[in-house]
Amino acid sequence: MVEGFYSLGVLRAKSGKGRELLAAWQALCDGFVQLDHPPVGNITLIQGVADPSLYHSFGPWRSLEDFQAMRSDPRLLEGFRKLADCCTEFTPGVFRVVGESIQGHTGA
């Protein structure tokens, strides 16, 4: 099992703010290159099909401390504010890996 942590943000765009949310999210993610310990993989944004105002952003982090440092980095605070301003709901969180399923492995 891969050990690590994942950020998971639930975002709900204000009416007519979908494009602005996408731009704010991308700008925020672009700022991660400034971090001493950036994400260890891609940060992904997915949009609901049945409810296109609903988005989930997630990505892997090496440690809880790296995630916490990112959330409190003063260089990123304005980016978080801009993203939150596009949303009626903005709930960031961090989760640890407790299980994993490997698909396509036959064991042969």
Per residue in 49-58, pLDDT tens? 999 999 999 9
Per residue in 75-94, pLDDT tens? 999 999 999 999 999 999 99
What is the predicted pLDDT for the residue at 1? 45
CATH 3.30.70.100 fits 5-96, yes or no: yes
Q: What mean pLDDT, rounded, does the chain reach? A: 92
pTM of the predicted model as reported, rounded to 2 decimal places: 0.87
Q: Parse the chain into domains and list their residue ranges.
A: 5-96
How many of the other CB atoms lie within 10 Å of CB of 4? Answer: 17
Q: Where residue 4 falls among pLDDT bands split at 50, 70, 90?
A: confident
Contact 4, 97 (CB under 8 A): yes
